[in-house]
Structure 1
């Protein structure tokens, strides 16, 4: 039997979780501080609406997906695991490293699954990219850069770095397999005291370097992760149609008589199986609940993401 999962938080992203879990046959209930909103979703999906105060102790709920304002993630996740629930909490896992570490420790102590919603790790194009890297297709990875730009969304708690960068940081950590040893952040606040633009520069123990650029005041959308190896380069561009989302460039660079020379080759587009990242993420969560396997996007990784965000944050107070 599938686990009985409740969604806590019926906002924009929570509503996507609700619809997706319902399509997977795993939605048991919905919950929100605004009970009228919860009851509307419950009616649409023919499930129960449960008040948040009652949700954590319900015996007919096996797991909770949390899509709350991030300041409420840590306490809610801790309360859930202490009541025997497995948890998928949206990013960021918390607003401080200490709260994130408390959440992870609580899940371990309770023996519960704790997964974090770094949804792009489940994108078929990223999974294919990771497979190419692991197979040695790109050679030794030397540099990674990511650009996540667009207009909005604007939050009162999260700046552009904390809102947009966790997905890319999770992908970068998955590729590198290690935490950076040097982090430098730059930011610019135009609307208020929160950064609307942010750059992160990172150096890793093996010499690999990476930079990340996020913006919520950009006139065009860009969702691009570029990986530079010593054999080839690859680009995961989520704005492109499926047949062009993953490209491999086999440029060649060499020295000739003391001068650098290169050949510029057209991209080879890698076939990618189409699939919704959120559906694949929730399927993985259900799998982990059933098998008790550690999630691919674990609480421990989310702590590392939070450490990077914290180190790279620029104050504009």
Structure 2
């Protein structure tokens, strides 16, 4: 019998969890502060609607997926694990490192599974990229850069860095296997008082470098992670079709009489199995509930990501505008 999972939060991302868990046969109930919205999803999916203040103590709920505004995640997670529920918390799991640490500690103290929604760690293309790196096909990794750009998704509590960067930071940490020893951030608020774009510059041990660019004021969408190694380079481009999502470039670079020279080759596209990252993430959550194994994206990883976000956050003091900057 599949674990009985409730989804707390029926917004855009919560609705994705609802439909995916239903397809996996694990959706037991839905909940939201907006009871009409939750009741609508419950009727649509043929599951229980449980009031938001009752979800934590409901005896038939084994686990809760939390897709709330991030300022409520830590408190809700602590309440859930103290009542014996396993949790999957969407990113970011908190707005401060101490709050995140408190939530993860509460889960550990109560013997509960704590998973964070870094969904791209479960993308088949990223999994394959990680396999290539671990097998040495790229040589020693020297530089990683990611671009996550688009238009929209404006939030009242978190800026472009906190909203867009956690996925990429999770992937970068998985590749390097360690936290950065230096983080520098820069950004600017264009529309309001929160940053609409941000750059992060990361330095890891052995002088491995990383760079991240996130923007919610960009006319086109870009979802690209590039890894530069001593033998080859690889690009995970999530905007491409499945047969071109992961490309390997075996360029050659050398010194000739004191000058650098290079040759370029056409990319080799790596075959990957198709699969929906959210489905695979929730399958991992279900498996962890059943086996009590640690999730791939556990609470400790979420804290590491939060430390980087905190270190890279640039304070902005622009006053709120009465009218939009554009339009």
Deviation at 1:5, TM superposition (A): 0.2
**Unaligned stretches of 5+ residues in structure 1:** none
1:91 alignment counterpart = 91
* Deviation string, structure 1 residues 257-300 (Cα, Å, up to 9, x no partner): 22211110000000011110000000000011011110100100
Give the TM-score taking structure 1 as reference length. 0.99
What is the DSSP-based 3-state SS (H/G/I as helix, E as strand, rest coil) of the residue aligned with 1:206?
helix
2:215 alignment counterpart = 215
1:1-317 mapped onto 2 (5 Å cutoff): 1-317=1-317
What is the DSSP-based 3-state SS (H/G/I as helix, E as strand, rest coil) of the residue aligned with 2:53?
helix
For the residues of structure 1 that align with 2:167 and 2:260, how far apart are their CA atoms? 36
Give the TM-score taking structure 2 as reference length. 0.96
For the residues of structure 2 that align with 1:229 and 1:31, how far apart are their CA atoms? 46
Structure 1's consecutive aligned runs of 4 or more residues displaced over 6 angstroms after TM superposition are none
For the residues of structure 2 that align with 1:6 and 1:213, how far apart are their CA atoms? 34
RMSD of aligned Cα (Å): 0.5
What is the DSSP-based 3-state SS (H/G/I as helix, E as strand, rest coil) of the residue aligned with 1:193?
coil
For the residues of structure 1 that align with 2:117 and 2:260, how far apart are their CA atoms? 44
**Unaligned stretches of 5+ residues in structure 2:** 318-327
* Deviation string, structure 1 residues 209-250 (Cα, Å, up to 9, x no partner): 100000000011000000000000000000001000000000
* Deviation string, structure 1 residues 130-180 (Cα, Å, up to 9, x no partner): 000000000000000000000011011110000000000000000001000
Deviation at 1:206, TM superposition (A): 2.1
What is the DSSP-based 3-state SS (H/G/I as helix, E as strand, rest coil) of the residue aligned with 2:248?
strand
* Deviation string, structure 1 residues 117-140 (Cα, Å, up to 9, x no partner): 000000000000000000000000
For the residues of structure 2 that align with 1:206 and 1:83, how far apart are their CA atoms? 44
User: How many residues matched?
Assistant: 317
For the residues of structure 1 that align with 2:6 and 2:300, how far apart are their CA atoms? 23
What is the DSSP-based 3-state SS (H/G/I as helix, E as strand, rest coil) of the residue aligned with 2:265?
coil
* Deviation string, structure 1 residues 21-47 (Cα, Å, up to 9, x no partner): 000000000000011111100001110
For the residues of structure 2 that align with 1:260 and 1:175, how far apart are their CA atoms? 28
